[in-house]
Amino acid sequence: MVHSFAAGLGRLADPKISLASFSSLFLGTVLAVHDGALSIAWLAVTVAGVFALEIAKNASGEIHDFAADSSVRAEERTPFSGGKRVLVDGVLTPRETAVLAAIGYFVTAACGVAIVLFREPAVLGLGVLGLACAYFYNAPPVRLSYRGLGEIAVGICYGPLIACGTYLVQRGTISRSVLILSIPLGLLIAAFLFVNEIPDRRADESSGKRTLVVRLGARRAAVVFGGILAAAFALLLALPLAGLPLGLALGVIAAVPAFFAARDLKRDVSTPGASVPAQRLALVTFLLFAAGSGMGAALLKS
């Protein structure tokens, strides 16, 4: 692969993966609009901070996850797994990757400080937690993904943390609606990570990366994947029990691709590349969930 700074930056920005954070941003924003006026300027600062953190996380992850990424064979690669490979493929140098990570973390911190000082001080705790999870997802000494904690961290960060943080910037508080709805969204995004880890399981195990998929094995991981999806929709349908309008459960339309994702993965979980259809459907699932639940909130307001 030819060295190309632009191509490397494009890989680190990876729109397929960034859709997870933007789904959570969308849900938090729509629910905030349901409850009051929207500040476009502070939404822009929030989006910039989250997007910069995505790039920073991916860049630092490339550095600290180099051994695992290097172990992935060509036939095991999918469009959704195997890392961004900017270092493995020689697209970026280690120095360039480290600089991009530093810039990304700096921009994220600057956006967070601006929000804390001039908009909403309570965001500080959520921001620090988000930065820590992003960096220590692969970085020592914590290495969350190497200890089987990466999936939990992703579920928390891409669900409640981003959605509630976005809402908090706009409303100065966290509503019960955004907190409860962000939990099944976090589960669905964690399920997307979970299915993406299946093609990497041999490479991860050989490099000492003990993800939940490595610990469970492929067949049990496929069962757990289905269980995570089912739990998300069970929580969604239980909204009335929490006193929330059933209209917010419009995200249940995402149960259709979720069903086929779980079915397809169970059919063949061991052949390299066989998980790609389930990966695509898992991506569609959390996108549809965010869109459906957001539409439900908009309809309730109208």
pLDDT band at 274 (very low <50, low <70, confident <90, very high): confident
The pLDDT score that the predictor gives to residue 300 is: 78
The pLDDT score that the predictor gives to residue 174 is: 97
Which residues fall within 8 angstroms of residue 19, CB to CB, at 6 or more apart? 283, 287
- Mean pLDDT over the full length of the chain: 94
Does the pTM of the predicted model rise above 0.85? Answer: yes
Cα gap 156→188, rounded to integer Å: 11
The pLDDT score that the predictor gives to residue 88 is: 93
Locus of tokens 């729109």? 15
Residues 67-105: tens digit of each pLDDT: 999 999 888 888 888 889 999 999 999 999 999 999 999
The pLDDT score that the predictor gives to residue 31 is: 95
List domains and CATH numbers for the chain.
5-301 (1.10.357.140)
What single DSSP character describes residue 274? T
Cα gap 45→155, rounded to integer Å: 23
Report yes or no: 42 and 115 within 8 Å, Cβ to Cβ: yes
In the beta sheet, which residues pair with residue 81? 78
Does the structure show a pLDDT above 60 at 249?
Answer: yes
Cα gap 199→73, rounded to integer Å: 10
Question: What are the angstrom distances between the C-alpha of 5 and each of 92, 101, 102, 261?
Answer: 6, 13, 16, 35
Which residues fall within 8 angstroms of residue 236, CB to CB, at 6 or more apart? 181, 184, 249, 251, 252, 289, 293
- What number is the average pLDDT over the span 28-47? 96
Residues 144-165: tens digit of each pLDDT: 999 999 999 999 999 999 999 9
The pLDDT score that the predictor gives to residue 301 is: 67
Structure-block tokens of residue 179: 């907190």
